[in-house]
Amino acid sequence: MVQHAFAYLSQQRFLGAAASAENAPTPRFGVAGVAWDGAVTNRPGARFGPNAIRKASQMLCDATHPFFDLSPTADLCDHGDLYLPNTSLETMRAALEAQARTLLAHQHMVWLGGDHSITLSLLRALRAVHGQPLAVLHFDAHCDTWTDHFGEPSGHGTWVYEAVQEGLVVPQSFVQVGIRSAAEREAREYVNAIGGRVITARELRGLESPSQLAPITADIRARLAASNAPVYVTLDIDCLDPAFAPGTGTPEPGGLSSAQVLSLLEELCAMQLPFVGMDCVEVSPPYDHAELTSNIAALCVWTYLCARLASEKTVSP
């Protein structure tokens, strides 16, 4: 198959990390862009997300994290943006899953989206590589549990329902954080109904520091650990309030602050849990005032990588 380099594919590297190279040692972590927004229901532009996130990451200088006191750059390479079809959701998903399997066989991967429909392919690939369903930590304003996509069978608002129906995830270890959008009760409560946990944005109001969030993080940790399953993080940037992340396709007022999301990532992703990857999706640069959204997206990805390295350096008593 001929690989076409579309004009918007990013040539930058996250944190200035080295590009992947044949016959070179494989770093612990890999980053890849998924420049796709063919399943959005409101504002397009997430195909430009990987480029914007990478550009924002250049401002992290030597990438030494102020809390974890380490940098992930020596343990990281960037595979660039994947080559994907542009107009068909099903063919894109098949192509993404195949490429993801190859990368996941060798590295702990972080994916830069792209709209949230990409997560279904990534979960399919992870399920195949690890041979079991996954526990999922899902940051989002939207439940993404619809059984159809405005009359179509699939889209960026159906992937949770599809993942459960396909047996890709452990229902009891599926945790949603920041949910607040308009939705009928059946969709809104779907994850609770299957035995998981929905932590709404309202439930988090007034809780921002690690100490204030401690009961929440303890609950999330217990649920993620209960199944002994590999843990995956998917972070839809619209979990944040539009004041902090305006550059997204479907903004929802009343969301989380940057400090809340960073506190949760710092506390949870440094825990001794079997995390196997992360995606950061729905960054839409055309709507990003002052690059606020791409900056917090880069910060979240960087924090996840540093947290995982910190967890590996922790010596259990």
- Alpha helix positions (H), 105-209: 118-130, 159-165, 185-188, 190-193, 201-204
| pLDDT averaged over every residue in the chain | 93
Q: Provide the 10 A C-beta neighbour count for residue 12.
A: 19
Give pLDDT tens digits for 36-51: 998 888 899 999 999 9
Give pLDDT tens digits for 211-221: 999 999 999 99
What is 86-128 written as a DSSP string? SS-HHHHHHHHHHHHHHHHTTSEEEEEES-TTHHHHHHHHHHH
Instruction: Specify the pLDDT at position 20.
Output: 80
Q: Which are the contacts of 131, defined by CB distance < 8 A and separation ≥ 6?
A: none
Most confident of 21-30, 80-89, 232-241: 232-241
For residue 85 the two structure tokens come to 């079809």
Give pLDDT tens digits for 138-190: 999 999 998 776 667 777 778 999 999 999 999 999 999 999 998 889 989 99
Asked if residues 141 and 188 have their Cβ atoms less than 8 Å apart, the reply is no
Terminal Cα distance for the chain, rounded: 52
- Produce one character per residue of 240-268: b if its CB has 16 or more CB atoms within 10 Å, e if not: bbbebbbbbbbbbeebbebebbbbbbbbb
Instruction: Specify the pLDDT at position 317.
Output: 41
Instruction: Specify the pLDDT at position 272.
Output: 95
Q: What percent of the chain has pLDDT over 90?
A: 83
∠274-109-236 over CA atoms, to 5°?
A: 90
Q: What is the pTM of this model?
A: 0.94
Give pLDDT tens digits for 97-130: 999 999 999 999 999 999 999 999 999 999 999 9
Instruction: Specify the pLDDT at position 314.
Output: 67
Asked if residues 232 and 134 have their Cβ atoms less than 8 Å apart, the reply is yes
213, amino acid identity: L
**C-alpha span between 292 and 145 (Å, rounded):** 28
**C-alpha span between 285 and 288 (Å, rounded):** 5
311, amino acid identity: S
Asked if residues 247 and 289 have their Cβ atoms less than 8 Å apart, the reply is yes
For the beta sheet containing 134-139, the strands, ordered from the edge strand earlier in sequence to the opposite edge, are: 18-19, 76-81, 29-34, 108-113, 275-281, 231-236, 134-139, 169-179, 197-200
Distances (CA, A) of 178 to 78, 133, 172, 257: 29, 23, 18, 10
Asked if residues 118 and 281 have their Cβ atoms less than 8 Å apart, the reply is yes
For residue 153 the two structure tokens come to 């069978």
Q: Is 90 exposed, middle or buried (0-12, 13-18, 19+ CB in 10 A)?
A: exposed
Instruction: Specify the pLDDT at position 217.
Output: 98
Q: Which are the contacts of 288, defined by CB distance < 8 A and separation ≥ 6?
A: 52, 246, 247, 294
Element (H, E) at 55: helix 49-57
Distances (CA, A) of 214 to 54, 105, 138, 182, 264: 31, 34, 18, 28, 9
**C-alpha span between 50 and 47 (Å, rounded):** 7
Q: Which are the contacts of 60, defined by CB distance < 8 A and separation ≥ 6?
A: 15, 298, 299, 302
